[in-house]
Amino acid sequence: MASIDELKQLVDKWQKVEDNGGSPTSGAKLKVYKRQLAEAEAAAKPAKKAKKAKKVEPVEEIIEEEIIEEAADEEE
């Protein structure tokens, strides 16, 4: 499968062809490339969310460690 950037270029190319009167196959090609681009962008979003979630986890772990330490101090 083509990269998101490659798909954007193909969509732009075939959109220009359509805007200038089209060709016998330009409409179908444009539709296919737009669908592939949408699928590729949708597939990339969960990966971005997962990366953001990983950044949050260490902060939660630090807070949890602090709570455990405070509880241990209170028991002493």
- Number of domains into which the chain is organized: 1
What's the rounded Cα separation, in Å, for the pair 68 and 66?
A: 5
pLDDT in tens, the chain (76 residues): 678 999 999 999 999 999 999 999 999 999 999 999 999 998 888 765 666 555 555 555 666 677 777 777 766 6
Q: What is the DSSP string of 12-32?
A: HHHHHHHHTT--TTHHHHHHH
pLDDT at 63: 64
- The domain in which residue 54 lies consists of 4-75
Q: Check residue 75 and give its pLDDT.
A: 65
